[in-house]
Structure 1
Amino acid sequence: MTTFTLGEREIRDAVPMNEAIDAVRRGFLDLAAGEFEMPTRTALRDGQFLVMSAHHRPTASAMIKTLSVNFGRTPAIAGSVVWSETGRPDQLVATAGTVTALRTGAAVGVATDLLARPGAARLTLIGAGGQAPDQIRAVHAVRPLRRLTVVDTDPRRAETLVETVQSELPGVELRTASDAESAVGDAEIVCCATSATAPLFPASALPERVHVNAIGAYRPTMRELPAELLADSAVVVDELGAVLEESGEVIHALGAGVLTEDALTELGTALAPPSAAAPSSGARLAEATGRTVFKTVGVAVQDWAVARLLADKFLP
């Protein structure tokens, strides 16, 4: 048996964002079809250590990710993704931080493609940390941008992010800001990628028609979005069991009585193609309200989808 070990450069060179988006979309569809075994992830020390796993029955393949999270260090995420399958004697080990950023961006790309208004081209990104570049790349892949505003409490960090992605966004107007409330006022798409423990802006600050992605809060003690926004929006989540256990926004809104579980739609269900008996959930969501929200805490099927791409490219 040979173990193929991949670092950030090998992963980035092998998997462009559009391929990651397509792979993660297929993964969520398979999840909705019941083709995965995917236990709820193990979280230790209030989420500082995480273990995630997924088994895809049709391909007899499995992925296990172990990582540590520390927002006081760079990179904040460190660990490994291990891929194996019964049909191949070799295994693949990939850097968890890179896979996590890529797959989280890809999920946002899938949700934005489904829920954002066609032609939406003004993105406000709140948070300029390690997840931020792939949030921009994913949104730009499905809704080509005309304007990007990066918001961070550290102006230099926002400027550095803009400089990092500038060459990938020719012709796009690039801005930085320090006040999230004013920066979302005319956005068509908002991405939240922070470690906030309180809402980043009031619901009233948003336009009447906007799509919001929230990826940063992955523990019950964390929140990026106000409960009023969830109450007034069509809400799509990555996986119901995961958000009920881990999403501070969803847990708070349910506890406040402004949101019910049956108002939450899983992404895989929303992606399912329409039929005569069951119109597309995604179409119904888009028609239901001017505001849509995608709340993700991150689930193992996303990591499996990117790891499968890597395995197909690197394993014999």
Structure 2
Amino acid sequence: MPALGNYSAADVRAAVGMPAAVSAVREAFAGLAAGHFSQPPRLVLGTDDQAVMVMTAHHGPSGAAVVKTAGVVLGRDPAILATLVWTDDGGQLTAEAGAVTALRTGAAAGVATDLLAAPDANRLALLGAGAQAADQVRAVLAVRKISELTVWNRTARRVGPLLDELSAEFPGLRVRAAGSAAEAVAGADVVCCATSAEEPLFELSALPERVHVNAIGSFRASMRELPAELLATASTVLVDQFAAAADAGEIRHALDRGLLERSGVLDLGNALAEPPEATGRTVFKSVGVAAQDWAIARLLAQHARH
């Protein structure tokens, strides 16, 4: 089978910009809702703190497929080291999947933000300054005219380098560090949480009455970035796909305590087809699905052929 290339992290970044990633991931979620993907449950081997995950998706209309193998070690930076393989009828492509994962995770938050955030949203709060953080900002800036960014991280020394990076990339963006998570979210129109927290980062009362919140950090039942009261009172609770997100800490905690009904949780693909009325506080909880990886890999394959 012809090789289409082996993309390093730098190659991935050079080939795929965030606006294109948001568009591709939006299309993939629509395809997922339409039944175009075969997507087995994620395979997880190992322990809570150190695991290997395998995710795969096959796109029926095109016959193209993607397989991603990721090693996750909490406390390591980056926490995720991964490799992706794309296969279609014309060849095969491999890529360093850490960059793919950050891009597609950011892009999903961008899709959800575009769907649910106020059209005039211009203040963004970011909680977390790890490997996923910058792409959360890039994604929100791809869909909203954000003028002000506030960042909080549990380890304060990591905030400065991130702010320097984003200031250089977005010269007109006003940036500042916050002393607490509550301070960061207090005046926000959009909040992005990208941490490995096991307890909620803030209380419901810290949030404005109209705000959209993305939470992408937690991926197992013991992890929670958001207070259960937020999910209980939000006008819209969105997930990438319920089958994938059902065991994420925020969703599981709220369901188990009767604070949230299954019928009150919407899949992103379905919400794109029938957009909910976005009022008050809205939430997007994402753990990631393989169709997102497929979307970014397809852009890489297109790049390789041109």
TM-score bucket (shorter structure): over 0.9
Task: Name the counterpart of 1:11.
Answer: 12
Shift of 1:83: 0.3
Query: Distance in 1 between the 2:47 and 2:119 partners?
Result: 39
Query: Distance in 2 between the 1:166 and 1:154 partners?
Result: 20
Report the 3-state secondary structure (helix = DSSP H, G, I; strand = E; otherwise coil) of the residue aligned with 1:311: helix
**Amino acid across the alignment from 2:62:** T
**Amino acid across the alignment from 2:229:** E
Identity rate of aligned residues, in percent? 53
Contact 1:153 1:178 in 2 (8 A): no
**Amino acid across the alignment from 1:292:** T
Report the 3-state secondary structure (helix = DSSP H, G, I; strand = E; otherwise coil) of the residue aligned with 2:21: helix
Query: Distance in 2 between the 1:270 and 1:106 partners?
Result: 16
Q: Residue deviations 1:230-286, cap 9 Å, x none?
A: 011110110011111x311000000111100000011001101xxxxxxx3x2x331
Contact 1:155 1:177 in 2 (8 A): no
The more displaced of 259-268 and 1-10 is: 1-10
Superposition pairs of residues 1-316 of structure 1, within 5 angstroms? 1-3=1-3, 4-46=5-47, 48-85=51-88, 87-88=89-90, 90-233=91-234, 234-244=236-246, 246-272=247-273, 280=274, 282=275, 284-286=276-278, 289-315=279-305
Query: Distance in 2 between the 1:203 and 1:43 partners?
Result: 32
Count of equivalent residues: 302
Report the 3-state secondary structure (helix = DSSP H, G, I; strand = E; otherwise coil) of the residue aligned with 1:219: coil
Query: Distance in 2 between the 1:199 and 1:72 partners?
Result: 18
Report the 3-state secondary structure (helix = DSSP H, G, I; strand = E; otherwise coil) of the residue aligned with 1:59: coil
Q: Residue deviations 1:109-130, cap 9 Å, x none?
A: 1000110000101000000000
Query: Distance in 2 between the 1:315 and 1:71 partners?
Result: 37
Q: 4+ residue runs of structure 1 moved beyond 3 angstroms?
A: none
Please provide the CA RMSD for this pair. Answer: 1.1
Q: Which runs of 5+ in 1 are unaligned?
A: 273-279
Q: 1:24 to 1:185 in 2, by over 3 A?
A: same
**Amino acid across the alignment from 2:6:** T
Report the 3-state secondary structure (helix = DSSP H, G, I; strand = E; otherwise coil) of the residue aligned with 1:224: coil
The more displaced of 103-112 and 75-84 is: 75-84
The more displaced of 169-178 and 11-20 is: 169-178
**Amino acid across the alignment from 2:73:** N
Q: Residue deviations 1:24-49, cap 9 Å, x none?
A: 00000000001100011011224521
Contact 2:125 2:190 in 1 (8 A): yes
Report the 3-state secondary structure (helix = DSSP H, G, I; strand = E; otherwise coil) of the residue aligned with 1:297: coil
Query: Distance in 2 between the 1:153 and 1:178 partners?
Result: 9
**Amino acid across the alignment from 1:311:** A
For normalisation by structure 2, the TM-score amounts to 0.96
Q: Residue deviations 1:95-143, cap 9 Å, x none?
A: 1111000000000010001100001010000000000010000001101
Query: Distance in 2 between the 1:46 and 1:181 partners?
Result: 32
Q: Which runs of 5+ in 2 are unaligned?
A: none
Contact 1:221 1:248 in 2 (8 A): yes
The more displaced of 172-181 and 253-262 is: 172-181
Shift of 1:167: 1.5
Report the 3-state secondary structure (helix = DSSP H, G, I; strand = E; otherwise coil) of the residue aligned with 1:259: coil
Contact 1:91 1:315 in 2 (8 A): no
Task: Name the counterpart of 1:276.
Answer: none
Shift of 1:310: 0.4
Query: Distance in 2 between the 1:197 and 1:42 partners?
Result: 22
Shift of 1:162: 0.3
Query: Distance in 2 between the 1:237 and 1:156 partners?
Result: 32
Contact 1:46 1:219 in 2 (8 A): no
